[in-house]
Homo-oligomer: A and B are copies of this chain.
Amino acid sequence: MTVLVVGSVALDSVETPFGKADDVLGGSGTFFSSSASHFVPVQLVGVVGSDYPVEKLQPLAARGVDLAGLERAEGESFRWRGRYRHDLNSAETLETRLGVFSHFKPKIPAQFRNAPFVFLANIDPRLQLEVLKQVERPKLVACDTMNFWIESRRSDLLELLGKVDLITLNDGEARQLTEQSNLIKAAKWILARGPKHVIIKKGEHGAFMFTKDTVFFAPAYPLENIFDPTGAGDSFAGGFIGYLARTGDLSEANLRRAVIYGSAMGSFAVEGFSTSRLLEITADDINRRVQEFARLVAFDASIGT
């Protein structure tokens, strides 16, 4: 089954303790698509400026990412410049130039409107709501968000919560949105406002998936070298939704597996700058890493004291 994603397509310039990369593929829509395309065909809706080196998106198109919904607008592309310090835990934003992204009005092409899986990547909640008006009752709608929208578009975000099946957000955002420092309480707060599933991402500390009755925890894959943390969250989402769309199974057991596939894709994303690693791995690499996740947490609880 196909996945429709609406998000940013940007040019990133990133500096980490391991090196630098200038004007490389970036943006939530780009990372999500690169990741999800390992599982299913992806339809990407976004905008780039007239300066965007669209040939750089060829590897995505070659992987089955349909770029028919990628608008080219007059003006500059969205550019983000950031730096990671030694601990690699949080990006320091040096510059954000929204360019044409600041006037982005997502238009879903007619042939994308019946996509069964929809991911509303981190954009203005008002635009996320606009997208939902243009699509035809998907099997699953998931969204992401960020601190900026939680602050500036709270009521729109709350309206959106009532219309999505699942939300992914990081621990800091969950605390900010819910004003609950405890993540279980934060998840309950969100679940009470609409979504049936809440995924709280804790970066290098793994991710929780909450439903009304269950909690699932997936560790982050322990890597000895992390080259560039940019896009890990969107790559997680791409693996998660991509796996669900491929299997078409929304059972709790399959959602748990999807979280592991998402975690695996997040772990690949940070092994190279930009989307480089995501675009070189194979299905075997992914399945092998999923098995490593299984070994990482495996214990036999059947022998009591």
Enumerate chain A interface residues (CB-CB to B < 8 A): 38-39, 86-87, 181-185, 202, 205-206, 208, 215-219, 222-226, 243, 246-247, 253, 256-257, 259-261, 283, 286-287, 290-291, 293-294, 296-301, 303-305
A305 lies within 8 A of B202 (CB)? no
Question: A223 — nearest CB in chain B belongs to which residue?
Answer: B184
B86 lies within 8 A of A224 (CB)? no
B299 lies within 8 A of A294 (CB)? yes
A183 lies within 8 A of B222 (CB)? yes
Closest 8 CB pairs of A and B: A294-B301, A256-B299, A205-B205, A297-B297, A217-B219, A184-B224, A287-B304, A217-B296
- Give the chain B neighbours of A261 by CB distance below 8 A: 305
A215 lies within 8 A of B205 (CB)? no
A299 lies within 8 A of B206 (CB)? no
Q: How far is the CB of A188 from chain B (nearest CB, A)?
A: 8
Secondary structure class of chain A's binding surface, majority of residues: mixed
The quantity of this chain's copies bound in the complex is 2
A296 lies within 8 A of B216 (CB)? yes
A299 lies within 8 A of B257 (CB)? yes
Q: How far is the CB of A262 from chain B (nearest CB, A)?
A: 12
Question: A283 — nearest CB in chain B belongs to which residue?
Answer: B305
- Give the chain B neighbours of A257 by CB distance below 8 A: 299-301, 303
A181 lies within 8 A of B86 (CB)? yes
- Give the chain B neighbours of A38 by CB distance below 8 A: 305
Complex Cα–Cα for A286 and B304 (A): 9
Besides A218-B299, A253-B300, 11 other A-B contacts (C-beta < 8 A):
A182-B224, A184-B224, A202-B205, A215-B296, A216-B299, A217-B219, A219-B219, A259-B299, A260-B299, A287-B304, A293-B301
- Give the chain B neighbours of A216 by CB distance below 8 A: 296-299
- Give the chain B neighbours of A206 by CB distance below 8 A: 205-206, 219
- Give the chain B neighbours of A286 by CB distance below 8 A: 305
Complex Cα–Cα for A219 and B263 (A): 15
- Give the chain B neighbours of A39 by CB distance below 8 A: 305
Complex Cα–Cα for A303 and B256 (A): 12
Complex Cα–Cα for A297 and B217 (A): 5
Instruction: With A205-B205, A253-B300, A299-B257 as known contacts, state yes or no: A305 contacts B246, CB within 8 Å.
Output: yes
- Give the chain B neighbours of A215 by CB distance below 8 A: 222, 296
Question: A260 — nearest CB in chain B belongs to which residue?
Answer: B299
